[in-house]
Structure 1
Amino acid sequence: MDFVTAVTTDGGADYVEPANRIAVFDNDGTLWSEQPMYVQLAFALDRVKTLAPDHPEWKETEPFKSVLAGDMKGVAAFGIKGLVEIVAATHSGMTSDEFTAIAKDWIASATHPTTGKPYTSMIYQPMRELIDYLKANDFRVFIVSGGGIEFMRPWTEVTYAIPPENVVGSSIKTKYEMHDGKPAVVRLPEIEFIDDGAGKPVGIQKFIGKRPIAAFGNSDGDFQMLEWTTGGEGRRFGLIVHHDDADRDVAYDRDSTFGKLDRGLDDGPRQGWTIVSMKNDWKQVFPE
């Protein structure tokens, strides 16, 4: 609140014009739950099962073989390379409009494997309130996530009140062509851009075009985004959500497969970033 007051007080030393009041939020683990796996990974695994009848070779080809066998340890063993292969195979071969419809239908009915609640109810209430607070103070709020840009855009406006044009994410290659006699943008089975780690500042510069003055994350994949944001001139703000509440959510940090937070815990305070304890600082985690 001190930061917002400083940058919005006209005539003050730290005043920032509304057009430059840019705040960026990571999505997975920052705005909603990312355990026991990223939501888009759950979507991709479901897509493997749906598409498997058209790909009999997957029964003997990794990492698809492990997915179909329900062997999540086997899937994890293939690391980022395996995840990229799964996403490329399951998110392509259709138009962007077709993919949007598939993603929208899935998120409307899919449920969290542990709580049984819709994924869109597994958002963090304090972060939603923070977004509303910033917008009320004329901030331009963006999501900058390692998740797929076209996976997130169909539902971010309803879930967070962040419009699709304010979403920056990873993407696969596309091309324009006539599809069934109509002009369309078709998704190709090749990764174009990974919006994670050092890719986040690049994505922000590429798609937003201005350095943010506030950044919010939860993992080391957000480190460079916070570092770049708070390294600029003038008043800046960086925040890390620390998942230390085993009772109301899931406690994890340094050794987690998803949302690992190691460097941020050690270096964040030295950078002047706020480390939020979910256990001690949040009265409420999820919406009622």
Structure 2
Amino acid sequence: MIKGITRCATAAMLLTMLSVVNAEPALANSANVDPLPSWNEGRTKSTIFDFVQETTTEGSKNFVQPQDRIATFDQDGTLWVEHPLYTQYLYILSKTNGIVQHNPSLAEHEPFKTILSGDMKKISELSNADIFRIAIMAQDGMSVEDYSADVVKWLETARDPRWNRPYTDLIYQPMLELMEYLRENGYKTYIVTGGGQDFVRTYSDRVYGIPPEQIAGTSFSTQFKYDKDGKAFLALQPSLFFNDDFGGKAEGIGLFIGKRPHFSAGNSTGDREMLEYTTSGDGARLGMLVFHDDAQREYAYGPAQGLPASNVGTFSQSLYDEATTKNWSIISMKNDWKTIFKFEQ
């Protein structure tokens, strides 16, 4: 009986030793896995690691409770390509032919005349008011569900002319890794965008891993209605409900999220106030700006640091100077990212 117990104990001990030996490489490999493999080693990458360690390590003076770990990201130019024109604007412009066919006289009036010319430079100089006018004419009275279905249908067939790929392929792989790394460390990620809230919600979960309820964006008013069968729905209205850009981004965070973020990332003057709001809070805060300085792999525009000026995703020298003064991290596409898109890997 004693020998039996001894054999069992010995066997158990051997199994335990084997499991420990086998586990060590797994633990070592896990510890050596780089959560940001598309980022080059350097100050920017180290800043991210330091921030996450500081805010998620219990006992740290800058420890942030899990329920307060909020990270906000702009979308256009921060998470995906915004040149030569915002993707949502391209969707809206795709409605122009239908509108003009319904009312041919519009072809001789602006902004329809410019859009029908196909001159992308002139089209990129159209005002937001011009784009909103077309959007209103195209979607007025549509149910939110019908609008979403139409966006999904367009995204399935539309292709970026430079890469000949769906627009949802033009997502920055380094930013996907950053969002996932933050989530793995207890952060809740939100998109706070000047783009359309309903537009982004159609693909945000599939593309970014961010559910629709964590999208705060520019939105049109809706009206509660019944269809001919008595079914209730929300109809889009020809008026703007909320403009989630510039100061509106900080206001949108307060309205839709209700907590000041500890992390924010943007890429243009439209994100300035969001980063100011984020980094004005107590404790460790991190603001980051994507700087488009890689004309070969993506685009280069500013006008900060002497790069070409742009009406789309303007990154002014004053924003660059403010970021430097306030220790916001400026992400250089050219120097900080090994790869830009997943399809390059």
**TM-score bracket for the superposition, by shorter chain length:** over 0.9
Tell me, in whole angstroms, the C-alpha distance in 1 between the residues paired with 2:119 and 2:98: 17
Query: What does the per-residue CA deviation read over 1:166-207, in whole Å, with 9 as the maximum and x for residues that have no partner?
Result: 001001111001123221100011112111111100011001
Between 1:145-154 and 1:261-270, the stretch displaced more is 261-270
Q: In proportion to residue count, which structure has more helix?
A: 2
Contact kept? 1:172, 1:188, Cα under 8 Å: yes
Equivalence for 1:234: 283
Q: How does 1:90-169 map to 2 (within 5 A)?
A: 90-169=138-217
Equivalence for 2:86: 38
**Unaligned segments of structure 2, at least 5 residues:** 1-48, 304-308
Equivalence for 2:328: 273
Equivalence for 1:259: 313
- 2:74 is aligned with 1:47: no
- Letter of the structure 1 residue corresponding to residue 196 of structure 2: G
* TM-score where L is the length of structure 2: 0.81
Contact kept? 1:268, 1:274, Cα under 8 Å: yes
Distance apart, 1:83 and its partner CA: 1.9
Between 1:28-37 and 1:66-75, the stretch displaced more is 66-75
Q: How does 1:183-222 map to 2 (within 5 A)?
A: 183-222=232-271
- Letter of the structure 1 residue corresponding to residue 258 of structure 2: G
Contact kept? 2:85, 2:124, Cα under 8 Å: no
Query: What does the per-residue CA deviation read over 1:91-145, in whole Å, with 9 as the maximum and x for residues that have no partner?
Result: 3221001001001111122111221111111110000000110010010000000
Tell me, in whole angstroms, the C-alpha distance in 2 between the residues paired with 1:61 and 1:12: 62
Contact kept? 2:125, 2:311, Cα under 8 Å: no
- 2:331 is aligned with 1:282: no
Query: What does the per-residue CA deviation read over 1:153-172, in whole Å, with 9 as the maximum and x for residues that have no partner?
Result: 01011111110000010011
Equivalence for 2:116: 68
* TM-score where L is the length of structure 1: 0.96
Distance apart, 1:231 and its partner CA: 0.6
The 3-state SS of whatever aligns with 1:89 is: helix
**Unaligned segments of structure 1, at least 5 residues:** none
Task: Give runs of ≥4 in structure 1 deviating > 4 Å.
Answer: none
Tell me, in whole angstroms, the C-alpha distance in 1 between the residues paired with 2:57 and 2:295: 39
Percentage identity across paired residues of the two chains = 41
Give the length in aligned residue pairs. Answer: 288
Contact kept? 1:63, 1:74, Cα under 8 Å: no
The 3-state SS of whatever aligns with 1:276 is: strand
Distance apart, 1:11 and its partner CA: 2.2
Tell me, in whole angstroms, the C-alpha distance in 2 between the residues paired with 1:167 and 1:55: 35
- Letter of the structure 2 residue corresponding to residue 155 of structure 1: Y
Equivalence for 2:64: 16
Tell me, in whole angstroms, the C-alpha distance in 1 between the residues paired with 2:142 and 2:206: 25
Tell me, in whole angstroms, the C-alpha distance in 2 between the residues paired with 1:173 and 1:58: 25
Name which one, 1 or 2, has greater alpha-carbon Rg.
2
